[in-house]
Amino acid sequence: MALTLSLVLITGMSATAFAESASSSYSPTLDKTLSDQSLDKILGLPYGDGNIFAGVGSGLIKEFKPDGTFVQTLDTTSASFEQTGMCFDSSGNLRATSFEANSMTLFDNSGTVITYPWAGPFSFHPESCVIDAAGDIYVGQADGTGDILKFNPAGTLLDTFDVAVPDRGSDWIDLASDQCTMLYAGEGDEIFRYNVCTHTQLSSFTSGLTGGSCYALRIRSNDQVLVACSTQVHLLNADGTVAHTYLNSDFTPAPSALFALNLDPDGTSFWTADISSSGGQIYHMDIATGTQLGTFNAAAPVDVAGLAIFHEPTVAVCPPGTHGTPPECIPDSTAVGGTIIPIDKTALVIAGASTNGFWVLSILVAIAGASFAAIRFAKRDTVEAVNLSQTTQNYIKPDI
């Protein structure tokens, strides 16, 4: 998808005067057609849709494009032997678990560390995380109490869930769209369920899975579940029955221990990685056919023990192009009005539009002492304005 946008930098004009000019005789002076990834660069979001973040160990996370092209290395500063599960919030900030360091790191949406250590204290071995519709973060733990922990975005502990851990712990977790049902795998042949709204252990989602110990799992928008079980990946129906099994012979080169797993933004494919392979082999697979779409080696100093995909679909949060609280996700409007909270008291909106009906792009011009800034009606109720010359962030509240 391409968006056409106009960029203008005006100096020496008041916000009121410019607003009047924009509403009457303003015409763009420069037009550019940008891909979504280029647009993210303008908005201060360096990650492209579908970019892969691989926890490669030694406290490091490597970012790759979907074709395997290396982008950058993020350093958690934890020096953890292994880097495990990760999760993105609605602003593109990344939270990452550091297994042996018993800690987490919060990165901003450019890959810079905001907070280390973030959240805690943890019992032992935090391994995965998921974010709910309110922006709170759940963390699964492999050892110690094995409890699932809930934190607010600042890292303050909100709740503790004493889940059943007959195998190893609440290693890998994912939250259903009802905001209550948590699925988790604990390195056995079973996927468990727990109601985080009522603090109630539920009946297991499924058991008796083949292929060895089961690890990372993800819930699809149709309530099917994908789970990596060592030598196999299972696609499970909403009732827990097996719909399809992706055998290690379906992957080239054949893996020996599939561990990490995540969904691609296209909704039709998934990514998984062989934790035992030299350097960490990463695979891209079509869900419907089982066809391998691609593979590359992460050149991991230790192994690939966690995968995150930028704009990965998570059912606990409304998907791109919609807003609200799952399962009540409402398509974004093609035209959204709002109230501007100025950047440095001199920020204005210039009109913009999208081609697919789900995006509205506006450009803010900041005058007094700032270069320029941009805002995007970013698939959620509160729209973020980013001053590209400063670190201050300002907001628009749409009239919806």
Predicted confidence at residue 332, as pLDDT, reads 79
Amino acid at 186: G
Nearest to 173 by CA among 142, 140, 205, 201: 140
| CA 248-99-312 angle, 5° bins | 60
Residue 212, φ and ψ in degrees, nearest 5: 110, -165
pLDDT in tens, the chain (400 residues): 333 333 333 333 333 333 333 333 323 333 333 444 444 445 555 789 999 999 999 999 999 999 999 999 999 999 999 999 999 999 999 999 999 999 999 999 999 999 999 999 999 999 999 999 999 999 999 999 999 999 999 999 999 999 999 999 999 999 999 999 999 999 999 999 999 999 999 999 999 999 999 999 999 999 999 999 999 999 999 999 999 999 999 999 999 999 999 999 999 999 999 999 999 999 999 999 999 999 999 999 999 999 999 999 999 999 777 788 898 888 876 444 555 444 443 333 333 333 333 333 333 333 333 333 333 333 333 334 433 333 334 444 454 4
**How many Cα atoms sit within 13 Å of 130 on the Cβ side?**
30
CA-CA distances (angstroms) from residue 288 to 149, 235, 251? 34, 10, 15
Nearest to 266 by CA among 298, 220, 304: 220
Predicted confidence at residue 327, as pLDDT, reads 82
Nearest to 138 by CA among 95, 192, 91: 95
Predicted confidence at residue 4, as pLDDT, reads 35
Helix (H, G, I), strand (E, B) or coil at 20: helix
| CA 261-263-268 angle, 5° bins | 130
From CA 345, how far away is CA 161, in angstroms rounded? Answer: 45
